[in-house]
A and B are shown apart, each in its own frame.
Chain A
Amino acid sequence: MKHYRAHLLVCAGTGCVSCGSFKIKEALEKEIKTRGLQDEVQVVATGCNGFCERGPIVLVQPDGIFYQLLTVGDVPHLVEEHLLKGRPVKKLMYVPPAEKQPVPKMKDIEFFKHQRLIVLRNRGRIDPEKIEEYIAFDGYEALGKALTEMTPAAIIDEILFSGLRGRGGAGFPTGKKWAACAKEKATPKYLICNGDEGDPGAFMDRSVLEADPHAVLEGMVIGAKAIGASKGFVYIRHEYPLALKRMEIAITQARENGLLGQDILGSGFDFDLEIVQGAGAFVSGEESALIASVEGKIAMPRQRPPYPAQKGLWGKPTVINNVETWATVPNIIRRGADWFQGLGTETSKGTKIFALVGKIANTGLVEVPMGITLREIVYGIGGGIPDKRDFKAVQIGGPSGGCLPAKLLDLPVDYESLTAAGAMMGSGGMIVMDDKTCMVDIAKYFLNFLQDESCGKCVSCREGTQRMYEIVKGITEGEGKESDLALLEELAQITKDASMCGLGQTAGNPVLTTLRYFRHEYEAHILDKRCPAGVCKKLIRYVVLSEKCTGCLSCKKACPTEAIKGTLKEIHLIDQSKCIKCGACKEACRFEAIEEQREEAIQII
């Protein structure tokens, strides 16, 4: 085997790829060749590092130097300085906000420092398209242990004892699910990996599948042995081409190496996997809908019980777990349930991956131990709110999760606390909002998403989400009535109560939590016809301040709808009937002569 003195680990998650990391990789390889270093330095494309805000990212090992926001133009300088002369390039390193000195090493950066990597342990470290690299980092060790040393009952006991709970959102104990399926007599049994991630702003499953597909695969084979399944399906949405490609490569490589298929590792156990592409319906993430989708039917949930563990795919016992859950399994088997027990809180064990997005300095993917507070995630890892603005709320748990206000920032992140606060763990989307966000508008956004994505079976969910959207939309347009709030609350509660599946049963959350924590904003919209954050377009208007306007024409040029009248050196006027309230004029004005009015008075004019 060839030895290299340095490795350049180029991040090749979807985020960095879209910023051109493959071009950086090509340029690095070319530059290294022209300098004659190809036998000393290796370039590796890895899975997502999580620090997507700073892509494209290159990590130089063994030094652990972290380079960010690279362009192809930086490459020759980087190779010459760092690899030839041994001088790390300071100007390409990460500089924390409000500081001047760069932080050279990855492990010293705040974003990485507080994370605890278990599921994502191989991110940014191995080439996900090479099974050898996975094996080199203890990959498939757990599989060997499970197939040769453990009985199915012992595997289930281990998972049960570890306290692992489903990472898809509901948090059902994984061991219990497996045990229920294992005791069913009907055969064949099936396994499904739920990779139908549909929350806006969430990309946990995608990153795991892209960074470490073999971990998911290994977890599934262990699960198959535990319940006695012979066939498994990996359900990935077709919007994730890179994840699909890497999973396909992983399955092929595992088959070639005797880790999948007939007689795995010579143990006499047979199990094979197939990839199923989802067509992008959010509701397909619900387990009974996903099963219907795999069967080739409309993705429409059905009544449980019978649960999939009893009657699932084609009426046979089926275990269906989330991507993250499957990827956690090999770690528990390899390191033991005791070790896993020691992480997290009393009821929530282990770690959870969150997609940290929105108004936050360090956008990206983080894996943290359960029980960490929201404040540590938002301010510690996330680096706080950019542009010196104030934190307003964090939306947790996807569209049917809830918005939690600043006073709950010290809430520990575990299944029970989040549910008690009106949000939910969900699959792990975390959207941070600053004081420029209107909470009524946020509720409207999520309701619009839900009325689109409800399967349409239950009256409560289909009509409930539509009517809630209708009412909230009315409120944002200044047509709200005082009675609307009571009706909204009643409707949201009944939508939660009367719907069949998880989508409907949580569809009231965006309304209920914003009403619970931000009721004054709704009241401002309804009573004063005012949007405190200045977001709802029908409730604001732009006017020219005649004493400041110099008649420079720049606002007129910026206006996309030609709503501004006036000639050079004359005070301009905005025609309100044409104005679409995009704010382009305000941005273009150098004299602060355009004002955004949010007062009640504008309704009278």
Chain B
Amino acid sequence: MITFRMNGLEVKAEEGWSLLETAKFYGLAIPTLCHHEGLTEFGGCRLCVVEIGEGLRSKLVSACTYPAEEGLVVRTDTTRVWAARRMMIELMLAMAPGSKVLQDLASKFNVTRVRFKLRHGECVLCGLCTRICAEQMDAAAIGFQQRGHKRKISTPFDARSEVCRLCGACMYICPACQLRCQGPDADTAICNGCLTMEPSCLDHYDDLQCWMYDAGRCGTCVQEKKS
């Protein structure tokens, strides 16, 4: 067992666990986007950054890729961490404002403006589709092309792939292209609808009735906040 500190708590992790796995085990919430259980870690979205170390030498690392280390000091929610997460959400929203996953994250982290020119794309290059295609579907029909600002995801030579079985796993796992934000003004950069919504069932019952245990996630049984 590896012993280290997370948000002041002493935690124990199994050999080979990442900081994210340890945090999950102890019920500490760390937001993720490009992480998916069952796929290799990528560390690209930088939403799961946490601060490690203390004082001047402290730094941000992605919790999904950083291994649990003996004696490490980890803080999952500091000003620095939040500033980075909010900027990542802002940057990704400017790429794909139609994504409900991103809009929800924006509401959760109170990102209420996008200061960059909108691109209205549908991809944030998180690489989930390429990994599910290669690792779970054993096809590797799609992959990254180019680097830097020219980077995109496509089939080799942009031609129709012979190994693609049209299984749809890439679309199933995509956080941006399928699940559209249904809130007001989805075309603008920020919906923030969830900030002003609450479940309507609470008008009639004492307990939340949502079978998804995730109030407002589907967006159908919510109403404007009364207060």
- List chain A positions with a Cβ less than 8 A from chain B: 281, 283, 298, 302-303, 305-306, 450-460, 462-467, 470, 483, 487, 490-491, 494, 497-500
Contacts and interface: CB of A to CB of B under 8 A. Distances in A.
A497 B87 CA distance: 11
B29 to A, nearest CB: 19
B84 interface: yes
Contacts of B61: 303, 500
B116 A467 contact: yes
Given A303-B62, A494-B83, A498-B88, A459 B44 contact: yes
A455 B116 contact: no
A460 B148 contact: no
A454 B147 contact: yes
Interface string B111-127: 00001110000001101
Given A281-B147, A498-B84, A499-B46, A460 B116 contact: no
Nearest to A487: B115
Q: Which of A281, A302, A467 has the largest count of B CB atoms less than 10 A from its CB?
A: A467
Contact of B87 (A281, A462, A466, A491): A491
B45 A459 contact: yes
Contact of B95 (A305, A451, A463, A494): A463
A491 B116 CA distance: 11
A422 to B, nearest CB: 15
Given A302-B65, A462-B125, A498 B87 contact: yes
B69 interface: yes
A453 to B, nearest CB: 6
B60 A283 contact: no
A451 B148 contact: yes
B182 to A, nearest CB: 25
Contact of B144 (A298, A465, A494): A298
A498 B51 CA distance: 10
B148 A462 contact: yes
Nearest to B116: A467
Nearest to A464: B91
A457 B146 CA distance: 11
The size bracket of the interface on B is 35 or more
Contact of A498 (B46, B116, B117, B125): B46
Nearest to B41: A303
B67 A305 contact: yes
B66 interface: yes
A451 B91 CA distance: 14
A305 B125 CA distance: 24
A572 B183 CA distance: 60
Contacts of A458: 43-44, 46
27 contacts: A283-B147, A303-B61, A303-B65, A303-B66, A452-B149, A454-B147, A454-B148, A454-B149, A455-B147, A456-B146, A457-B42, A457-B127, A459-B44, A459-B46, A459-B91, A460-B46, A460-B84, A460-B87, A460-B88, A465-B148, A467-B94, A483-B115, A494-B83, A497-B83, A498-B84, A498-B87, A498-B88
